[in-house]
Every structure is written in C-alpha cells, then in structure tokens.
Amino acid sequence: MLEIRLHGRGGQGAVTSAELLALAAISEGKYGQAFPSFGPERRGAPVIAFCRIDDRQIKIRSYVNKPDIVLVLDPSILRIANVAEGLKEDGILVTNTKHKADEIRRELNLNYKLAVVNANRIAREELGLPITNTTMLGALLKANAIVKPDSLIGPIRDRFGRIAERNIKAFRRALAETELAF
C-alpha cells in the first residue's frame, strides 16, 4: 500500500488532488481511498488531505501518519509546518517551490528524496491562478508512477469541465518539468 499525505492551503485543492488520484487508481481497477483532515474549511488556512492506493481493499481508516510520499502544494507551508513528519526513511517529498532541489534540501535540512517544481508559475501561466492541485499531481507522478498519467485525464475532465483542458496542460507540464533529486 502506498500512503500519501498532502499539505496545502484552503482553496488550493489539496483535497481535490487526493480525490483525483484515488479516482485514477480506482479507474485502473485498484483500490483508492482519499479523505480530508476533517474540519471547518477556511480559505488560506493550512489543510491536510490523505490518499491511500493499494491492489487490495483498503481497510485502515486512521490518518496517514507514516506516509510514503508527502505532497506540498504551497511553498509557504514548508516553513510553517513540519511537512516531513513521519515520512518514511525512503520516502519522497514532492513540493511546489521556485527553488532548486539542492537549495530546499539545504534550507530545510532534509535527507529525503526530493521532487521539486515551480507549480505556481505553471499554474499561473496555464490557469491564470496559482491553484496548484492538478499541477502538483504531475509532479507526484514524475516522482512515483503510482498510476498511469492517462488515468488522471478522465477524473480531471469530470471535475473541471470547461477548464479541464487547461488543467490537463498544467498537469502534463509538471510531469515534464519536475526536477528529481533522489
């Protein structure tokens, strides 16, 4: 089972990212489970969401406390929360940042595998807004091919309707532009 914890700010779509990923896995015949850390939602406040993917039925209902992957949708979260808390030793931190992986590693003193992408820039250019949920899914799949990239297209189309194509473009750009430092 692969366990992912997502950090973002209310309104950026961390919960949506988790959901889309689970839906993509389910569409491949796998089991997917996505849920938010439950609370009154406020735009801009730090939020956490969780996603689990497995070939077998997922029975665990507690939070993801020892993730395989941490996905950070907002660069500012890196400095206000210990996003790597509980991340497994061979885990991956995937983050939105304008910095290079080495700079992030030095600044935050992290020994984990890193995957970085300037998702704010991609999202601004493709969507006109720094809403990075679909962009960061591209970075996530570059870091770990949990599902086939094409499996996300259906869920993105269902969710975003007329702005789906722009989201798909942002997703594909991140898939290409993400820097891996493993």
Q: Please, are residues 78 and 104 in contact by the beta-carbon 8 Å criterion?
A: yes
Q: How far is the CB of 158 from another protein (least distance, A)?
A: 10
Q: Is 62 in the site for another protein (CB under 8 A)?
A: yes
Q: Write b or e for each residue in 140-159: b if 16 or more Cβ atoms lie within 10 A of its Cβ, otherwise e.
A: bbbbbebbebebbbebbeeb
Tell which one of 10, 11, 36, 86 touches another protein (CB under 8 A): 36
Residues near another protein (CB under 8 A), total: 24
d(CA 144, CA 182): 11
Min separation Cβ 159 and another protein, Å: 12
The letter for the amino acid at 33 is Q
Q: What sign does the CA torsion over 141, 144, 145, 147 have?
A: negative
144 binds another protein (CB under 8 A): no
Choose one: 24-32, 81-89, 108-116, 122-130; the region binding another protein (CB under 8 A).
24-32
CB under 8 A: which stretch of 57-65, 95-103, 118-126, 171-179 binds another protein? 57-65
Q: Is 26 exposed, middle or buried (0-12, 13-18, 19+ CB in 10 A)?
A: middle
Instruction: Tell whether residue 27 is a contact of another protein (CB under 8 A).
Output: yes
Q: Please give the residue ranges that form the binding site for another protein (CB under 8 A).
A: 18-19, 22-23, 25-27, 29, 31-36, 38-40, 58-63, 65
